[in-house]
Amino acid sequence: MARRAKNYNLGSKTARLKLEARRKPYYQQIAPGVTLGYLRRDPPPGAWQMRELVEGDYKYRTLGTADDVSTADGRDTLTHAQAVRLAGAPAAPLAGGPITVRRALENYLSALEGRSVHAREARQRADKHILPALGRYRVDRLTKRQIEDWLAGMVKAADKDDPDARRRSQDTANRVLTILKAALNDAWSDDANSIPTDAAWRRVKPFKDVGASRVDHFDAKQIRLLIAKAAADDRRFAELLEAGYLTGARYGELAALDVGDFDAQRSLLVIRKGKTGARVVTLTAEAVQFFRRLTKDRPANAVLLQRKDGDRWGKSEQHRPFKRAAAAAELPATASYYSLRHSYISRAIEAGMPLNLLAENCGTSLSMIQRNYAKVLAATRLSLVQKTAPRLRVVAKDKAAA
């Protein structure tokens, strides 16, 4: 006899946070064939998911972030009651007839949400780049030229203020192409869709040699000089630079912060609009002192890192002031605001921070760090082994090094 699955009570925030963090959600049945899932993460917040039994197969859908560390807004961050209502709402029926790119993406992404932590990012990329341009077209009528023109349309022109913009946009285009191909292949593999060939997208090639740029990273002395040069021109931008180095967060994540996102008592910074979803950044004592100064006597809804005029930093507004400050500090012309994040990760690796903790703090994956920071990891490998491996007896340093 099959063991009955445990039905968890997820209504209490306190009870949810006592659950053990794991990749598999905790489920609570809310209707026949429909269960609400809570994905417990460490650190929080967790995420709400829905699982529905349809014609003998489970369909999965991500509903939003749980209100574990922030107030629910009813859209991106949900209370338990809001998640229950959303899970109970029937999904819009799919139109019959030949399958479109939109339908193919919806089928693929719904299945992906039940098995991958990257499903939310994939859906965001699809919503932004694929659906507006290709969503209405039938899969069986797509052409190679049509897909290539769409791919080229995502590439930005060269920018003297940001020389790496073109490469980055090509890299992004390749990632989106991967999502599109996966969805189309999924649709093609289903005989019920009657798609005769996959040639249209199979023959489209991604951009070559754009996956990685020169990774500039700097030591604390260089960063202090960079901040000082920026402060001579714009004190507010210097604060944005310091925040980038002390947290390793992305520019857009920092620009979106409000004063209330800083928790001095717990040494935390809540990133609500991260590239890979919401997360909590654990801060050093130095970072806590820095943010205490910025938030003193300011309301919770005020912009944490503001421009001279008090407004929030906008998209790409960091490029020009960074280039001026970097030139004054005699840093390489290839340096960018993102170099602060590279510097944070590189220095943390050298100091011996556990890679899984570093990945969580920076909102990235362990595999990305291992792949993109291989040289830094290799350079610190010997010293870390010398410091941390078990010993039987004391030996001379020169013999140990040998």
Q: How far apart are CA 73 and CA 91, in angstroms?
A: 21
CATH 1.10.150.130 intervals, the chain: 95-213
Looking at every residue in the chain, the average pLDDT score rounds to 87
Confidence check: pLDDT of 397 > 70: no
In 3-state terms, the chain is what percent helix, strand and coil (to 5)? 50, 10, 40
pLDDT band of residue 143 (cuts 50, 70, 90) is: very high
How many other C-beta atoms are found inside a 10 Å radius of the C-beta of residue 140? 16
DSSP assignment of 56-71: TEEEEEEEEEETTSS-
Confidence check: pLDDT of 399 > 80: no
Which of 26-30, 77-81, 153-157, 187-191 has the weakest average pLDDT? 153-157
Q: At which residue do the structure tokens 């790409």 appear? A: 316
pLDDT band of residue 93 (cuts 50, 70, 90) is: very low
DSSP assignment of 275-339: TTS-EEEE--HHHHHHHHHHHTT--TTSBSSB-TTSPBP-TTTTHHHHHHHHHHTT--TT--THH
CATH 1.10.443.10 intervals, the chain: 220-387
List, for residues 339-368, the tens digit of each pLDDT value.
999 999 999 999 999 999 999 999 998 888
Confidence check: pLDDT of 319 > 60: yes
**CATH number, domain 220-387, options 3.30.499.10, 1.10.443.10, 2.60.40.790, 1.10.490.10:** 1.10.443.10
pLDDT band of residue 85 (cuts 50, 70, 90) is: confident
Question: Which overall architecture, per CATH, does domain 95-213 show?
Answer: Orthogonal Bundle (1.10)
Fold designation for 1-91:
Double Stranded RNA Binding Domain (3.30.160)
Instruction: Confirm whether pTM is higher than 0.85.
Output: no
List, for residues 34-54, the tens digit of each pLDDT value.
889 999 988 888 889 888 877
- Per the structure block, which two tokens stand in for 100? 């479109």
Check residue 91 and give its pLDDT.
44
Check residue 164 and give its pLDDT.
67
Q: How far apart are CA 59 and CA 231, in angstroms?
A: 53
List, for residues 102-118, the tens digit of each pLDDT value.
989 988 888 887 777 67
**What is the edge-to-edge ordering of all strands in the sheet holding 47-54?**
26-31, 34-39, 47-54, 57-66, 77-78
pLDDT band of residue 214 (cuts 50, 70, 90) is: low
Q: From residue 199, give the alpha-carbon distance in Å to each of 104, 150, 185.
A: 16, 16, 10
CATH 3.30.160 intervals, the chain: 1-91
CA angle 130, 169, 377 (to 5 degrees): 115
Confidence check: pLDDT of 70 > 80: yes
Q: How far apart are CA 65 and CA 1, in angstroms?
A: 36
